[in-house]
Amino acid sequence: MQPPYVLHRNPAHFPEPERFDPDRWTPEFRKALPAGVYVPFGIGPRYYMGEQFARIEATLVLSIIGQRFRLEMKPGQTILPEAMIFMRPCDGLHMRLLKR
């Protein structure tokens, strides 16, 4: 099995893999993919059993932050991806929190 980084950037399944496309995460798009192509939480015996909790927690935390603040990226940043256990920006994201 290939690592998720490689799987999720295969142009055969994900057209323009480096472009941000929110439609890639719709239930319809995921159902149309072959099994084992989209594995954000692993697959088989290595599947992350906390997936549902992680999704709920992220939704709650982001909605609370979004209600209270407006996020603005500080200018002049170059965002380079770093592949670790999961993908993240190499030098982080320097953001400004503006109270709503």
Q: Give the pLDDT of residue 22.
A: 87
Of 9-13, 15-19, 46-50, 89-93, the range with the lowest mean pLDDT is: 46-50
**pTM: predicted TM-score of the whole model, two decimal places:** 0.54
- Is a pLDDT exceeding 80 seen at residue 46? no
Which candidate, 12, 53, 90, 28, places its Cα nearest to that of 2?
A: 12
**Residue 1 — pLDDT band, cuts 50, 70, 90?**
low
Rounded CA gap, 83 and 48, in Å? 18
